């Protein structure tokens, strides 16, 4: 490039401004380019520089300038003729071709910068598609900026909130772009800019007031963005259905969840269709004030037609579930009605029937624990059944567990059941005993290991006197203890027994013999103990030897049998007095009375001894006491006068001090 010297006069077009020329690049660069290319004055005192390659920068603006100048009158023809154009005609043709290209580089903000190296492949379809997509992306960004501006000016939203929300409105921005382009065909907007048309579309849709209203109802901006995209431009449907959800008691913070998860076509449904579904559910036991909770937790119900809802409800009603149980079931677990397919529901019901349950039993089971329908057969039930079978639990045992505590089949095997079984093995319970224990008390598997089971075991070993050797036996025989409250039940009972004069070590042995001893209420224990010590006049040692005494009814068994013994002048140990049926107890008493009559009538001791060897229920005569190894029952026969003397009651201080 050759620069003009200070003595060289500037060309004509540098002294006169043409009104039709608008340069987009640096004016100084264009001036130097034009000077060197078209109006170069020979310098007698300087050597001409060698030919330089054609500049590509600002080539189109320069070509446009040349085209404009070609139509102007030549101010100095002789001067131009004396200085011919040093550039060949091929370069001018190339510049002119670039200026006439349909896909020239735009020169306005937000335009696409076309690299000159790609001009040779403009006819390629891939490049054309790429250019179109790039143009759409630029136009979408422009639309997003317009939307942000409307939100800030019309809705008084902050910049951060507007930016975060616009990022979720890609589909709605495309809708605005299409509508703005369509408005170009209208005579009213034929001469308006794209920005004006896009702003008009946004304001006419009333999307900004809708965003403000949804935000006021505790919807997050991702929920608002998804709703606006699902509306497909019909913003009024969002407010209409949101108000309908409020009418059925859906809380504000759940409205967004219900609208978003109700399905893509939910916004297209009318209020009348939705009212029919609500009325049908209400007629089958789902109360009106429950409807908001049901729809909030299972919005998929709103996407079904009335016929499909009836089919799903009939699936449960045909199993014998009444309206009251059906309504409670839907309220407890709404997904049981609207989340799973009919095929999945049928498969799970058939699998439950394999445990020996009838259709009515399965219906009662689902009405009580509808969460069973949310469990996977392959991932949850089959591994559990295999694990229980490994520990010796049969199908009947599993059926009992399923009926008593259906939640066992809903918990995670590896995280919930396996650690508990491993803990039971660590405290000395055998595998076969673990299976029996689980069948006996299935709720055990639903208790927390670290918040419930371990604290109870530690309490029994430290505060209740149970030894490490017996703790496994106690848990295996009385797993119900693990469900008792330490503060409100176990600790209270332990303090009561210690107050009777029972030592801690002896209490631990009593619990090992009869673990249920700690489960009775104090109000039940106190009358029985008072009757034992004051009326029956029994020592505390009898209670220590037979702690199951507290398991029998005072009015139904203890008092009636004690009266029978008093009437027949018989004294039996508590074990033989209570641990038998009424028929066995009557036969035992008759046998004792018979032997006493034979003795009083003069039967020889030899006959008595023979009768003792032949009949285990026979007892010695008055004044002769047998050890427990020789006889099951101790018998002391006394006269009526002696019975009154021996029935003297002990004082409370004496009774509590005996051990």
**Least confident range of 1-10, 318-327, 343-352:** 1-10
Most confident of the following: 105-109, 250-254, 526-530, 602-606: 526-530
- Evaluate whether residue 40 is within a structural domain: no
Mean pLDDT, range 550-577, rounded to an integer: 88
pLDDT at 91: 61
- Evaluate whether residue 620 is within a structural domain: no
Residue ending a domain, among 467, 498, 519, is 519
CATH of the domain at 342: 1.25.70.10
Say whether pLDDT at 360 is over 70.
Answer: yes
Q: Give the pLDDT band (50/70/90) at residue 296.
A: confident
The pair phi, psi for residue 455, each rounded to 5°, is -60, -35
Buried b (16+ CB within 10 A) or exposed e, 422-451: ebbeebebeeebbbbbbbbbbbbbbbeeee
pLDDT at 65: 65
The residue that leads in pLDDT, 213 or 531, is 531
Say yes or no: 363 and 394 in one domain.
no
Say yes or no: 344 and 430 in one domain.
no
Helix or strand (DSSP H, E) at 440: helix 431-440
Q: Nearest-5° angle of CA 8, CA 14, CA 20? A: 160
Q: 513: which 2 tokens? A: 């013999």
Say yes or no: 246 and 221 in one domain.
no
- Evaluate whether residue 533 is within a structural domain: no
Residue ending a domain, among 446, 463, 490, is 446
Say yes or no: 262 and 360 in one domain.
yes
pLDDT at 507: 92
SS (H, E, C) 75-99: CCHHHHHHCCCCCCHHHHHHHHHHH
pLDDT at 318: 84
Question: For 252, how many CA atoms within 13 A lie in the half-sphere containing its CB?
Answer: 8
**Least confident range of 248-252, 277-281, 389-393, 629-633:** 629-633
Structural domain including 480 reads 447-519
- Evaluate whether residue 54 is within a structural domain: no
Mind listing the pLDDT tens digit for each residue in 232-242?
777 778 788 88
pLDDT at 1: 39
Residue ending a domain, among 179, 200, 230, is 230
Contact by Cβ (8 Å): 510, 544: yes
DSSP codes of every residue in 529-580: HHIIIIIS---HHHHHH-GGGGGS-IIIIIHHHHHHHHHTT----HHHHHSS
Helix 207-216 with 221-231: angle, nearest 10 deg: 140
Say yes or no: 132 and 216 in one domain.
yes
Say yes or no: 452 and 442 in one domain.
no
pLDDT at 302: 81
- The Cα 342–Cα 52 span in angstroms is 80
Residue 256: Cβ-neighbour burial (10 angstroms; 0-12, 13-18, 19+): buried
pLDDT at 615: 44
The pair phi, psi for residue 265, each rounded to 5°, is -100, 10
- Evaluate whether residue 551 is within a structural domain: no
Mind listing the pLDDT tens digit for each residue in 82-139?
445 555 556 666 655 555 544 454 555 544 454 444 444 445 567 777 888 888 888 8
Mind listing the pLDDT tens digit for each residue in 185-196?
888 888 888 888
Mind listing the pLDDT tens digit for each residue in 444-471?
888 989 999 999 999 999 998 888 898 9
The residue that leads in pLDDT, 649 or 329, is 329
Say yes or no: 225 and 275 in one domain.
no
The residue that leads in pLDDT, 481 or 55, is 481
- Evaluate whether residue 114 is within a structural domain: no
pLDDT at 208: 85
- Evaluate whether residue 97 is within a structural domain: no
Say whether pLDDT at 477 is over 60.
Answer: yes
Mean pLDDT, range 267-275, rounded to an integer: 81
Say yes or no: 154 and 249 in one domain.
no
- Evaluate whether residue 198 is within a structural domain: yes
Say yes or no: 223 and 239 in one domain.
no
The residue that leads in pLDDT, 646 or 165, is 165
Say whether pLDDT at 163 is over 50.
Answer: yes
pLDDT at 423: 92
What is the tally of structural domains in the chain? 5
CA dihedral 246, 248, 252, 254 (to 10 degrees): -130
Say yes or no: 399 and 386 in one domain.
yes
Contact by Cβ (8 Å): 643, 569: yes
Mind listing the pLDDT tens digit for each residue in 368-381?
888 888 888 888 88
Say yes or no: 244 and 211 in one domain.
no
Question: For 19, how many CA atoms within 13 A lie in the half-sphere containing its CB?
Answer: 0
Closest to 516 (Cα-Cα) out of 544, 542, 541, 493: 493
Q: Percent of the chain scored above 70 by pLDDT?
A: 72
Mind listing the pLDDT tens digit for each residue in 300-337?
888 888 888 888 888 888 888 887 888 888 888 888 88
Say yes or no: 137 and 224 in one domain.
yes
Mind listing the pLDDT tens digit for each residue in 580-624?
888 888 888 888 888 888 888 875 455 544 544 444 443 333 333
Closest to 580 (Cα-Cα) out of 636, 521, 633, 533: 633
Residue 551: Cβ-neighbour burial (10 angstroms; 0-12, 13-18, 19+): middle
Q: 591: which 2 tokens? A: 């046998």
Contact by Cβ (8 Å): 589, 569: no
Mean pLDDT of the chain: 75
Using alpha carbons, list the distances in angstroms from residue 227 to 154, 201, 275: 20, 18, 21
């Amino acid at each position: 490039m050759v620069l003009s010297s200070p003595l060289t006069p500037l060309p004509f077009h540098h002294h006169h401004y043409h009104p039709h020329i608008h340069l987009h690049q640096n004016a100084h660069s264009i001036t130097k380019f034009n000077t060197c290319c078209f109006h170069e004055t020979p310098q007698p005192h300087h050597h001409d520089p060698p030919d330089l390659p054609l500049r590509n920068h600002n080539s189109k603006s320069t070509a446009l300038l040349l085209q404009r100048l070609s139509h102007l009158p030549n101010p100095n023809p002789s001067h131009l003729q004396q200085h011919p154009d040093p550039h060949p005609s091929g370069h001018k043709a190339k510049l002119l071709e670039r200026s006439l290209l349909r896909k020239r580089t735009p020169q306005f903000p937000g335009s696409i910068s076309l690299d000159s190296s790609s001009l040779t492949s403009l006819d390629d379809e891939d490049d054309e598609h790429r250019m179109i997509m790039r143009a759409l992306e630029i136009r979408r960004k422009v639309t997003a900026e317009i939307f942000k501006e409307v939100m800030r000016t019309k809705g008084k939203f902050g910049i951060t909130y507007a930016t975060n929300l616009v990022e979720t409105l890609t589909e709605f921005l495309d809708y605005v772009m299409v509508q703005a382009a369509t408005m170009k065909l209208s005579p009213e907007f034929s001469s308006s800019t794209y920005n004006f048309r896009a702003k008009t579309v946004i304001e006419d849709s009333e999307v900004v007031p809708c965003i403000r209203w949804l935000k006021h109802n505790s919807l997050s901006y991702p929920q608002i963005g998804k709703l606006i995209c699902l509306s497909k431009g019909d913003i009024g449907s969002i407010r209409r259905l949101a108000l309908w959800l409020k009418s059925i008691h859906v809380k504000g913070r759940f409205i967004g969840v219900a609208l978003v998860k109700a399905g893509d076509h939910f916004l297209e449904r009318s209020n009348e269709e939705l009212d029919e579904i609500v009325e049908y559910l209400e007629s089958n036991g789902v109360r009106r004030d429950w409807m908001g909770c049901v729809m909030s937790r299972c919005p998929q119900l709103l996407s079904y037609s009335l016929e499909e809802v009836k089919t799903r409800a009939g699936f449960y009603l045909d199993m014998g579930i009444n309206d009251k149980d059906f309504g409670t079931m839907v309220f407890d677990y709404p997904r049981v009605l609207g989340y799973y397919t009919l095929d999945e529901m049928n498969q799970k019901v058939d699998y439950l029937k394999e445990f020996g349950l009838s259709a009515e039993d399965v219906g009662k089971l689902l009405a009580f624990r509808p969460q069973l329908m949310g469990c996977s057969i392959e991932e949850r039930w089959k591994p559990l059944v295999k694990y229980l079978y490994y520990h010796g639990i049969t199908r009947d045992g599993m059926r009992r567990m399923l009926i008593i505590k259906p939640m066992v089949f809903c918990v995670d095997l590896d995280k919930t059941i396996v650690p508990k079984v491993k803990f039971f093995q660590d405290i000395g319970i055998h595998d076969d005993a673990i299976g029996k224990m689980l069948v006996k008390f299935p709720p055990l598997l639903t208790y927390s290991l670290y918040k419930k089971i371990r604290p109870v075991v530690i309490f029994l070993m430290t505060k209740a006197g149970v030894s490490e050797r017996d703790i496994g036996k106690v848990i295996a025989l009385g797993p119900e203890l693990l469900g008792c409250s330490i503060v409100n039940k176990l600790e209270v009972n332990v303090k009561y027994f210690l107050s009777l004069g029972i030592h801690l070590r002896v209490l631990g042995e009593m619990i090992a013999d009869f673990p249920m001893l700690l489960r009775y209420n104090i109000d039940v224990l106190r009358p029985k103990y008072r009757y034992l010590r004051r009326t029956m006049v029994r020592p505390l040692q009898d209670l220590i030897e037979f702690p199951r005494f507290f398991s029998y009814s005072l009015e139904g068994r203890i008092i009636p049998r004690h009266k029978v013994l008093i009437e027949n002048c018989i004294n039996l140990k508590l074990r033989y007095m209570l641990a038998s049926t009424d028929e066995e107890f009557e036969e035992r008493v008759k046998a004792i009375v018979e032997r006493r009559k034979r003795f009083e009538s003069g039967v020889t001791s030899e006959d008595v001894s023979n009768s003792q060897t032949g009949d285990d229920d026979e007892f010695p005569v008055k004044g002769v006491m047998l050890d427990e190894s020789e006889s099951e029952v101790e018998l002391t026969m006394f006269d009526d006068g002696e019975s009154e003397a021996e029935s003297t009651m002990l004082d409370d201080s004496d009774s509590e001090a005996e051990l």
